[in-house]
Every structure is written in C-alpha cells, then in structure tokens.
C-alpha cells in the first residue's frame, strides 16, 4: 500500500539522490541546454523535502500535492512546472486519505504523466522527460497486470526509465531549449529524462526497503 509515510520516504531518497547527482544533471544540460537542470532540481527537491518534514501531510495525495506545489514555486526552469504538474495531478487523482493500492498509484502516475504531455505538448520520442516517464508507467502497469507486487512493478519501471533515458541520446529534441539546437541536439542524453529515471529509481528503492 502507498501511504503518506511511503511517499515521505520516497521524497527523502529522491532529494538525496538529486543532491548527489546534481552536477551530472547540470553537465548533461550544458551541451543541449543552459546548464541549470541539476541546480534547478536540487533547489526544488530540497525545498519540497523541507516543507513536507515541517508539516507532514497525513495523506499520500497530500504529500504529492505539496511536493508538486513546492517544485512549481521554487524551480524557475521548465522542469519545475512539468514535474510539479505531474505530482499535483497524481496527488489529486489519489483522492481521499486512504492508502492507495499499487493499481491506484499506477493510475495516478499515469494521470500525472499525461498532464505533463498536455502541458508541454511533447510525446515520447521528442527527447524529454516523457521518454523515461511513459515507459516507466507502462512497465509498472505491465508488471502489476501480470500479477506482480509493487516492488516488482517499480523494479521494472526503474529499468524501463533507465533504458528510456539512455535511448534519448540519438534523438533530435523537438521540445524545450534543446530543440533550438536542431540536429545538434543529437548525441546527448536528455537531462530531464535522466532526472526522471532517478526519481523512478528512488520509488523502486523505497518499495524494496
Ligand atoms: P530549462 O530548460 O528551462 O532550463 P531545466 O533545465 O530544469 O529547464 O529542464 C530541462 C528538461 O525539461 C529537459 O531536459 C526536458 O527533459 C524537460 N522538458 C523541457 N521542455 C519540455 C516539454 N515541453 N515537455 C516535457 N519535458 C520538457
Ligand atoms: Mg536548463
Ligand atoms: Mg533554465
């Protein structure tokens, strides 16, 4: 079951991994962006973690909504509103206070990822965070439908997100700053797909604890 405590533990893990990997995310954002993705993510997740620990929401949806709101208000770059919308929409989809089943959590994540597509106008293959997020949700869904539990599903999602991020290297960016480079965006891994894979990995680690 996904309760508020599970998502608080996810957030602590995610904030730590974002902090640890911030330099790498910024390096990825330097050839095809403006070299701020790591600092953007670090600022957002540090603020979100602090806000949730200061006044811990009692419901899983409440945790996601608070994290999303913090990302929107503290991150200047494109990734802040996009991740913020994902988490706020997923939090709203979780609804009332009861802990979510793995299937309800999967459905909420899917709603959130769809909202990212609507907000940013991107589809998989455009070399964005969606190239990691969409396969992750599909892998989670496939594993749950096959009778797996949450930890199995999130382990599969982690692999799919990593593969999706790696698969952005040969793509030409069609959305965001990297798209301004046209064909020169080819040959570099997308920073947002990379951070998305880190956030999914943190979910898998939380479920495996
Ligand atoms: P900015 O580009 O404003 O500096 P960041 O560097 O924090 O913002 O985030 C860049 C990442 O945001 C990109 O690597 C990409 O994955 C993601 N991104 C940008 N535009 C979009 C979009 N329209 N849809 C989905 N993801 C996007
Ligand atoms: Mg940037
Ligand atoms: Mg920027």
pLDDT at 122: 98
Instruction: State pLDDT tens for residues 46-94.
Output: 999 999 999 999 999 999 999 999 999 999 899 999 999 999 999 999 9
Q: In degrees rounded to 5, what are phi and psi of residue 2?
A: -100, 105
Most informative mutation of 84, 125, 128, 132 for ligand 1 (most atoms within 8 A of CB): 128
Ligand 1 pocket residues where CB is under 6 Å = 29, 33-34, 36-37, 40, 77-79, 82, 116, 120-122, 128-130, 175-177, 190-193
Q: Does the predicted model carry a pTM greater than 0.90?
A: yes
Q: Find out whether 197 and 161 touch, Cβ atoms under 8 Å.
A: yes
The predicted complex's ipTM stands at 0.99
The Å distance, Cα 89 to ligand 3 centre, comes to: 23
Round to whole Å and give the CA distance between 202 and 178. 26
Domains of the chain: 4-208 (1.25.40.340)
Round to whole Å and give the CA distance between 66 and 180. 33
Q: Report the phi/psi class of residue 157: left, alpha or beta, with left for phi > 0 and alpha for psi in -120 to 50.
A: alpha
Q: Is the predicted pLDDT of residue 202 greater than 90, yes or no?
A: yes
Atom of ligand 1 nearest to the CA of 41: 7
Round to whole Å and give the CA distance between 194 and 132. 8
């Amino acid at each position: 079951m996904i309760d508020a405590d599970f998502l608080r533990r996810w957030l602590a893990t995610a904030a730590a991994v974002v902090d640890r990997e911030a330099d790498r995310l910024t390096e990825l954002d330097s050839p095809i962006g403006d070299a701020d993705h790591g600092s953007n993510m670090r600022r957002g997740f540090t603020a979100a973690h602090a806000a949730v620990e200061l006044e811990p929401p009692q419901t899983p949806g409440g945790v996601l909504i608070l994290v999303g709101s913090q990302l929107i208000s503290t991150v200047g770059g494109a990734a802040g509103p996009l991740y913020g919308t994902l988490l706020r929409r997923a939090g709203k989809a979780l609804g009332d206070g009861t802990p979510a089943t793995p299937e309800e959590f999967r459905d909420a994540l899917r709603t959130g990822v769809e909202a990212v597509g609507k907000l940013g106008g991107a589809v998989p293959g455009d070399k964005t965070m969606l190239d990691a997020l969409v396969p992750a949700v599909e892998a989670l869904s496939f594993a749950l439908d096959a009778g797996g539990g949450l930890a199995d599903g999130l382990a599969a999602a982690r692999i799919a997100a990593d593969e999706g991020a790696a698969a952005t290297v040969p793509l030409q960016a069609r959305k965001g700053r990297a798209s301004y480079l046209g064909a020169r965006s080819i040959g570099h891994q997308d920073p947002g797909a990379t951070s998305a894979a880190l956030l999914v990995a943190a979910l898998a680690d939380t479920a495996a604890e």
